Amino acid sequence: MDQILYEVSDRVAVITLNRPEVANAQTMELLDDLDAAWTRAASDDQVRVIVLRANGRHFSSGHDLKDRGWSPEKITLEWIYQAEARRYLEYSLRWRNVPKPSIAAVQGKCIAGGLLLCWPCDLIVAADNAQFSDPVVHMGIGGVEYHGHTWELGARKAKEILFTGRAITAEEAEKVGMVNRVVPLDGLDAATMELAGQIAQMHPFALRQAKRAVNQTLDVQGFYAAIQSVFDIHQTGHGNALSDGGYPVLVRLEGMKERIKAQ
């Protein structure tokens, strides 16, 4: 079964994460397919708006730590850096910069790497059961690869969720401006498609320029440079995890699961 589904109707491309049996955990292959879907939507003149959604109860449980691409004998900091620079940094930035509006529809849990899929979207519609979290501090690393936290939540809330690893609710995310609106779970797809349909009526070049105006303003404020340098800070976390008891996933995963479960 395809890990990513793609369809276009009424000028809206809908990209669907399709590994519901594992809460849309992201393999390297899934991310490559997802990037291909974004590229396809970006280059199709018939597509005015891009929707990213997920099948199943949860938007995404993050990176698939059982992905065979991550076998321990391969693990050096150089290997981690290269693999992550491409899929966890460049992909997210590329999706963020696609010159068309995008909307993420998020339900259930959106954990760590899940944030790397929804944050790059221009708008986020959250189901009322959505929960967003970045618990990787439990793994000896200071947060996920793409540091949207401070931009999305503000400095204090960003520190709180990193320091505690706790999830923020859809309602809380809306209050700080991280999501645009919260809707009942059973109305998530309809609300997202209605919003997409409304935006698809607008002039595509004006939409492109409106998006560029906002993104460029953030870049002038330092977004791009900050994202790059915090990616490198993240890598020192991998260095710490490698030197402090071996590869973090194998050594710490069980402990992390227990702590997340207890929250």
The one-letter code for the residue type at 25 is A
**Nearest distance from residue 206's CB to Zn ion, in Å?**
38
Q: Which residues contact 99 (CB under 8 A, 6 or more apart)?
A: 42, 208, 211, 212
Q: Which is nearer to Zn ion, 185 or 249 (CB)?
A: 249
**Nearest distance from residue 259's CB to Zn ion, in Å?**
19
Q: Which is nearer to Zn ion, 64 or 145 (CB)?
A: 145
**Nearest distance from residue 247's CB to Zn ion, in Å?**
11
What's the CA gap between 31 and 88, in Å, rounded? 9
Q: Which is nearer to Zn ion, 150 or 180 (CB)?
A: 150
Q: How far is CA 89 from CA 31, 175, 179, 235, in A?
A: 11, 27, 21, 12
Residues that bind Zn ion (CB under 5 A): 84, 145
**DSSP conformational letter for 134:** -
DSSP H or E segment with residue 6:
strand 4-9
Q: Which is nearer to Zn ion, 197 or 239 (CB)?
A: 239
**Nearest distance from residue 84's CB to Zn ion, in Å?**
5
**Nearest distance from residue 99's CB to Zn ion, in Å?**
28
Angle, helices 223-243/248-262, rounded to nearest 10 degrees: 110
What's the CA gap between 49 and 124, in Å, rounded? 13
For 177, phi and psi rounded to 5 degrees?
90, 10
Rg of the chain taking only CA atoms, in angstroms? 18
Question: Dihedral of CA 8/5/71/133: which sign?
Answer: positive
Nearest to 204 by CA among 32, 11, 36: 11
Q: Which is nearer to Zn ion, 82 or 164 (CB)?
A: 82
The residues that bridge with 125 in the sheet, in sequence order, are 105, 181
Q: Which is nearer to Zn ion, 67 or 128 (CB)?
A: 67
Q: Which is nearer to Zn ion, 84 or 152 (CB)?
A: 84
What's the CA gap between 235 and 132, in Å, rounded? 22
**Nearest distance from residue 134's CB to Zn ion, in Å?**
12
**Nearest distance from residue 224's CB to Zn ion, in Å?**
19
What's the CA gap between 17 and 2, in Å, rounded? 9
